[in-house]
Amino acid sequence: MDTLDKKILNRIQTGFPVEERPFLTIGNEFGIGEEEALRRVRRLKEEGIIRRIGASFDSRKLGFDSTLVAIKVPEERIDEVVLLINEYKEVTHNYLRDNDYNIWFTLIAPSGERIKEIIEEISSKSGITEIRNLPLTRFFKVNVDLNFRDDGD
């Protein structure tokens, strides 16, 4: 990554322009034009530096329920079970933890009933019964903004 890549990353992580041609705005801001801004962002995504670009919504205000789920998966089945979990569009993300309950994921669905249904399906399809549904009882929002800078800055 060069200095300009880092500046673009700083700009888009919390201030992505919500407009018809966001990369035109970003490109103009940095004096490189729309195509170059888009090319750089695509390259950063291909390299795995950017995982996704998308909006974050307060699902509760939209009438959805959410929960955190922990599942105890035998080590040799982790990849298989993660693929199963990822089949559900209601899963926003998942991660591996160094714990007996080693796969954790979040679900956002139109209702608590749908959340329960998904958890039951995952259990049934995987044969794993040690699953913990940890519904939201108190909301905390942690914002993580990374400051990409040159070593000399």
Task: Give pLDDT tens digits for 100-144.
Answer: 999 999 999 999 999 999 999 999 999 999 999 998 777 766 666
Q: What is the pLDDT of residues 19-56, one digit of tens each?
A: 999 999 999 999 999 999 999 999 999 998 888 887 77
Query: Domain-by-domain residue ranges, the chain?
Result: 3-46, 65-135
Residue pair 11/31 in contact (Cβ under 8 Å)? The answer is no
Banded pLDDT at 59 (limits 50, 70, 90): confident
Instruction: pLDDT band for 153, please (50, 70, 90 cuts).
Output: very low
pTM above 0.85, yes or no: no
Domain 65-135 bears CATH identifier 3.30.70.3460? yes
Q: DSSP of 18-82, one letter per residue?
A: -SS-HHHHHHHHHTS-HHHHHHHHHHHHHTTS---------TTTTT-EEEEEEE---GGGHHHHH
Count of residues making up the chain = 153
